[in-house]
Amino acid sequence: MLPEITYFIIMLVVFILAAMWWKLPIGISLILASIAGALASGDGIPIRHLVEGTFAYLDPILIIATAMIFMGALRRSGALGSISRLIIIKLHKQPFWLVIFITLFIMFPGMITGLSTATVLTTGALVAPALMMLGIPRVTVAAIIAMSAIYGMIAPPINIPAMIIGGGVDMPYIGFELPLLFATLPLAIGVNLSLGYKYLRKIDIENIQTKLGEDYVAKYGIRLFLPLIIVVVLMLGIRILPQYFPNLGVPLIFMIGSLVALICGEKFNFFKISHKAIQEALPVIGILVGIGMFIQIMTLNGVRGMLVISSLSTPSVWRYVSMGVMIPLFGAVSAYGSASVLGVPFLLAFLGQNEIIVGSALSLLTGLGDLMPPTALAGIFAAQVVGEENYFKVLRVTLIPAIATALWALAMIFFANQLGAFL
């Protein structure tokens, strides 16, 4: 047996024992697995490599932290609840467009944070009562929220798994916008129309209008949405008109939007919502720190090279089967861990294809890990939001959409060069 295989097995065993047996946080489990891999290869405890790994994903960490603060500010100012109310009231007579706009609304936090849980616990929690009052069964509502959360975390502008996969092969996170939209938007709309449209044919808006919360738009007008407008303009401006917009960086843009929210809606304590937002983001930040160390040690002891060579030598048919099964299943522990451990070598295995398309499709496969038990972050939180105790009822409803998503991702990889030329 090659020594690299032994090191990899030791790292996986320590990781699984720490995460599932000892019930340690995923980030701590990744750190312990990294140290075990270094010890097994005779490198001791390489402090320099561990510290370098800690800062490998500093940019995504800053984006997540500031985006969570921005989402908290939007929610406390009343902007998020008002958007939900407007969508339902204005489009209740057009169920087709209602589903589409509700889908985009649910996806929004995931698009700017890269977190499925942020989506479920913010916009998902806001629209869940309204969707159930509109006549959609609670299990179906949970499935809609869970799938929208996954598509949101993969959609642009922020896609953490794609950043991790790209970082593993020194590919900058540039040019992913259209491929990621192609990977997520058709699926999100198609899946949610198939799940919810049939229940929205007869809507009695009078019975639910009073339960949609306070109308903050009547109180504050258009300025309620000024923080969101500023963030969108600054993000798009640097891409479309860079000569007129300074490159402030995504974290600073989110902080500007958060501070503007202080004067545009309901009053709130900025420091309290910031503290709560960072607390909610800490588990994911810990995962990114652990993943950075894990990849650094895999590079040090040769495991990363072994995985790349193994992926390259696998017959193409089995390569597709392996991707469609292994990446979502490994994502049950961590979608980000799946992106680093499996996404990077599979991207290298398809270097003849358009790398941006392949990386986008691989990130879509990693997102499905948030449906896989035992962790199933998106699915379990979505079940809790609607008050469903048995998560497996939700999993049963999401099974066909998840299979369709995996097939869509594999088709994107197969036709990567053609899609790259088209997009």
Task: Specify the residue for token string 């799946």.
Answer: 338
Would you state the pLDDT for residue 150? 95
C-alpha–C-alpha distance, residues 85 and 168, integer Å: 42
Would you state the pLDDT for residue 206? 63
Whether the predicted pLDDT of 248 surpasses 60: yes
Contacts of 28 (CB under 8 A, 6+ apart): 18, 286, 290
Distance of CA 272 to the CA centre of its chain: 25
- Give 414's Cβ-side CA count (13 Å radius): 13
Whether the predicted pLDDT of 1 surpasses 60: no
- Measured N-to-C along each axis, helices 303-313 and 270-300 cross at an angle, to the nearest 10 degrees, of 70
Lowest mean pLDDT: which of 51-60, 127-136, 334-343, 377-386? Answer: 334-343
Whether the predicted pLDDT of 203 surpasses 70: no
Whether the predicted pLDDT of 205 surpasses 70: no
**Number of other CB atoms surrounding residue 242 within 10 Å:** 10
Q: How confident is the model at residue 210 (pLDDT cuts 50, 70, 90)?
A: low
| Mean pLDDT, residues 282-290 taken together | 85
| Mean pLDDT, residues 56-62 taken together | 85
Contact present, 344 and 134 (Cβ < 8 Å): no
* Range 361-372 burial, b when 16+ CB lie within 10 A, else e: bbbbbbbbbbbb
Would you state the pLDDT for residue 209? 62
Q: To 5 degrees, how large is the angle CA 301–CA 299–CA 63? A: 140
- Measured N-to-C along each axis, helices 79-91 and 95-113 cross at an angle, to the nearest 10 degrees, of 160
Contact present, 293 and 33 (Cβ < 8 Å): no
Would you state the pLDDT for residue 374? 67
- pLDDT tens by residue, 9-49: 899 899 888 887 888 888 898 899 999 999 998 888 999 99
pTM of the model: 0.82
Lowest mean pLDDT: which of 293-297, 361-365, 406-410? Answer: 293-297
C-alpha–C-alpha distance, residues 16 and 18, integer Å: 5
Whether the predicted pLDDT of 164 surpasses 80: yes
Which range, 158-162, 314-318, 342-346, has the best average confidence (pLDDT)?
158-162
352 is written with which tokens?
């003849």
C-alpha–C-alpha distance, residues 327 and 341, integer Å: 9
| Mean pLDDT, residues 118-125 taken together | 85
Whether the predicted pLDDT of 141 surpasses 90: yes
Whether the predicted pLDDT of 208 surpasses 70: no
Would you state the pLDDT for residue 97? 92
Percent helix, strand and coil across the chain, each rounded to 5?
A: 80, 0, 20
Q: How confident is the model at residue 227 (pLDDT cuts 50, 70, 90)?
A: very high
Contact present, 278 and 15 (Cβ < 8 Å): no
**Number of other CB atoms surrounding residue 246 within 10 Å:** 10
C-alpha–C-alpha distance, residues 171 and 177, integer Å: 15
The gap between the terminal CA atoms of the chain, to the nearest Å, is: 44
